[in-house]
Amino acid sequence: VAGSIAVKEAARRAKPVLLEPIMSVEVVVPEEYMGDVIGDLNSRRGRIEGMELRGTSQIIKAHVPLSEMFGYATDLRSRTQGRGSFTMHFGRYEEVPASLAEEIVSRAQGITK
């Protein structure tokens, strides 16, 4: 019992944070869809890292939380009339924003707001 209390106290004092996987994403789209695609990535908490022209397509490089990428393939096809494609791979872990972390912890503890 004393060990359990000590571990809980140590965890509280350590001020733990939640981390989330951040994906490196590369989106290939015709130029006329750039605005819609960039807006969508921003709405997914994405950070645009750069853009480049490759042939007649634009390449958008971004970092986006994995939790925000679910359903992206369908959304991208809809926004680009099936002409956009993307690849993604793990980039790194980053701290979850405080407001989101509170919501996640509350859900995990069975508390709803």
- The CATH number of the domain holding residue 78 is 3.30.70.240
Looking at the predicted structure, is the pLDDT value of residue 113 above 80? no
Q: Which domain holds residue 48?
A: 18-108
| Domains of the chain: total | 1
Q: What is the pLDDT of residues 28-53, one digit of tens each?
A: 999 999 999 999 999 999 999 999 99
Residue 22 lies in a domain: yes
Residues 6+ apart with CB under 8 A from 96: 17, 18, 19, 20, 104
Instruction: Answer yes or no: are the C-beta atoms of 23 and 88 closer than 8 Å.
Output: yes
pLDDT category at 63 given cuts 50, 70, 90 is: very high
Q: CB 5: neighbour CB atoms within 10 A?
A: 9
pLDDT exceeds cutoff 90 at 110: no
pTM: 0.81
Structure tokens at 67: 């939790």
